[in-house]
Amino acid sequence: MTAAAANRLTQHKGDMQLQSFPVAATTTIYKDTLCSLNSSGYLVPASDTASTVFMGMSTEKVDNSAGANGDLSCVVGAGFRALFAASSITQALVGTQVEAIDDQTFDETSVNTIAIGKLVEFVSTTSGWVYLKGFTA
């Protein structure tokens, strides 16, 4: 799968904790996508990129594509389960740490090991429920 180019409607279960983060310059965060902080501390779409820290799932779309660092902020939720696409998983992976491939896809391995949480329910080889650790961990 590739990074999101529009808002998503991501199913989720349970309570989530919310926190607002300043968005990086020239960045658009789509609703219901995975988000990380870059090395400067600004929110960006999650990706398999070194020196980023996973924060959770966006609760809104924020278009800071014409703005500077921190001109806009985005509310992010964490501490709940969300259904996301997977690159290739199995039932045997339930309970293991999973990592961001992009802002809407996870797998059990990635190049830069950007952990997003644990696989808590296997749905198919290409989707599963993930407990998003985000900023609450």
pLDDT tens for 17-49 read 899 999 999 999 999 999 999 999 999 999 999
Specify the pairing of strand 115-124 against strand 17-22: unpaired
Predicted confidence at residue 134, as pLDDT, reads 85
Residue 35: exposure state from Cβ atoms within 10 A (0-12, 13-18, ≥19): buried
Residue 28 and residue 7: Cα distance in Å, rounded? 10
Predicted confidence at residue 82, as pLDDT, reads 82
Closest CA to 79 of 43, 32, 130, 42: 130
pLDDT confidence band for 90 (50 / 70 / 90): very high
Residue 11: exposure state from Cβ atoms within 10 A (0-12, 13-18, ≥19): exposed
106 versus 15: which is more confidently predicted? 106
pLDDT confidence band for 104 (50 / 70 / 90): confident
Q: What is the mean pLDDT of residues 94-107?
A: 91
Greatest alpha-carbon pair distance for the chain in Å reads 44
DSSP letter for 72, please.
S
pLDDT confidence band for 61 (50 / 70 / 90): very high
106 versus 22: which is more confidently predicted? 22
What pTM does this model have?
A: 0.86
Residue type, 50: A
Specify the pairing of strand 53-58 against strand 97-102: unpaired
Identify the sign of the CA torsion 84, 88, 89, 90: positive
Half-sphere exposure of 22 (CA within 13 A, CB side): 12
With 60 as the cut, is the pLDDT of residue 137 above it? no
| Domain extents in the chain | 12-77, 81-136
Predicted confidence at residue 1, as pLDDT, reads 56
Mean pLDDT, rounded, of the chain: 89
